[in-house]
Amino acid sequence: MRELTVSLGERSYPVLIGAGLVDGCPALVDLAAGRQVAVVTNDVVAPLYGERFARWLRPASSEFIEIVLPDGERHKDWPSLQRVFDQLLARRFDRRCLVVALGGGVIGDLAGFAAAVYQRGVEFVQVPTTLLSQVDSSIGGKTAINHPAGKNMIGAFHQPRLVVADVATLATLPARELSAGLAEMIKHGAISDPAYLAQLERDCDRLLSCDAAALTAAIERSCEIKAAVVAADERESGVRATLNFGHTFGHAIESGLGFGTWLHGEAVAAGMVMAADLSRRLGMLDSGAVERLRGAIAAARLPVAGPAWDSGRYLELMAVDKKAEQGIPKFVLLSALGHALVRSVPEPELRATLEQCVR
């Protein structure tokens, strides 16, 4: 098992990475001891890991409930959140209870947000079971639900007390979701570590075939990068915004297609190619780097272009992005593979990218 720390002063917490952690994790038993524990999960994950997980966690708790939500990004909404509150209140869970998110990014974001606002905030633990959530969304305390007008529009910064990433759970992951996770890993390489990007290019086939050693090494490096960025800028007032590389375009794609049509990682993948293309048009990045990134994304079996909408549609969708300031979106761009920065862009170059980088 590997362990690293997200350093945030008194809100610091460990990230544990290893095989078999859903069958037992002493750190989680310690945290749950004598407390009311609510495991929030979905109807795909529950049959796979729910009982294996409850077997050792239930005896540690004073009271144990499992809250099973419907699977899918479209359920990352108020009715699902309400179901969590209804069940916590029906069982009279108090403000010392512990919420455990067992599932992918949707469950982590939603259960984390439920914990952030239930009785003005209770503690929670992330147990991510998808590659994307293990390397990205489970770390850093961003929690949210979607609004019909935009993704993650309602949320909070609320750090977990512990993150438990079991790489063995990835064996049951559909190939498409494995690729979607790789998108965020490629992002970590693209914005801050060219050597890691090269590692992902080299290990791509092993990662796609779920090789445990390759996955563990890559997940650990991605978690290190994510943890360092979060430690430097918890509330996204500076460097943390670079983690949104590909996300301004990606959110527009997800929102325009309807949440859940493309996986988040798929939309970010296309968005990264678009952001790299835009960087090139602005004279910041050479064509070779753009092509190398596009190649890495294609090798991971991810889309390299967005839906064929006209640029006006994209601009409209992007203007409600959280990073937009009074309607003018800012973008995370690359000045080299491994170096990202945030800036406003002129509309003509943006429109050119939107016209070129679509199917």
Q: Which of 240, 281, 292, 294 is catalytic?
A: 240
Element (H, E) at 42: strand 36-42
**Inter-residue contact 191 to 143 (CB < 8 Å):** no
Residue 239 near a second copy by CB under 8 A: no
Residue 118 near a second copy by CB under 8 A: yes
Which of 29, 153, 228, 358 lies at the binding interface for a second copy (CB under 8 A)? 153
Which of 4, 43, 48, 63 lies at the binding interface for a second copy (CB under 8 A)? 63
Q: Which of 73, 123, 184, 220 is catalytic?
A: 184
Residue 120 near a second copy by CB under 8 A: yes
**Inter-residue contact 139 to 127 (CB < 8 Å):** no
Lookup: tokens for 55: 């077997």
- 42 an active-site residue? no
* Cβ-proximal residues to 47 (8 Å cutoff; 6+ apart), any chain: none
Lookup: tokens for 33: 């001891």
Report 296-335 residues binding a second copy (CB under 8 A): 319-320, 322, 324-327
Q: To the nearest whole angstrom, how small is the minimum distance from the Cβ of residue 120 to a second copy? A: 5
Helix (H, G, I), strand (E, B) or coil at 358: strand
Interface size with a second copy, residues (CB under 8 A):
38
Q: To the nearest whole angstrom, how small is the minimum distance from the Cβ of residue 92 to a second copy? A: 6
- How many angstroms separate the CA atoms of 350 and 282, rounded? 9
Residue 348 near a second copy by CB under 8 A: no
- 142 an active-site residue? yes
Strands 36-42 and 63-69: parallel
Which one of 17-25, 81-89, 219-227, 269-277 is the stretch in contact with a second copy (CB under 8 A)?
81-89
Which one of 49-57, 80-88, 211-219, 251-259 is the stretch in contact with a second copy (CB under 8 A)?
80-88
**Among residues 103, 87, 76, 104, which one has the least CA distance to residue 38?**
87
- How many angstroms separate the CA atoms of 155 and 142, rounded? 8
Helix (H, G, I), strand (E, B) or coil at 160: coil
- How many angstroms separate the CA atoms of 101 and 155, rounded? 16
Residue 346 near a second copy by CB under 8 A: no
Q: Return the CA Rg of the chain.
A: 20
- 236 an active-site residue? yes
Provide the 8-state DSSP code for 241: G
- 151 an active-site residue? no
Which of 52, 55, 96, 343 lies at the binding interface for a second copy (CB under 8 A)? 96
Provide the binding-site residues for a second copy, judged by CB under 8 A. Answer: 36, 62-63, 78, 82, 85-86, 89-90, 92, 94-96, 113, 116-121, 142, 144, 147, 149-150, 152-157, 319-320, 322, 324-327
Catalytic residue IDs:
120, 142, 184, 226, 236, 240, 244, 247, 251, 264
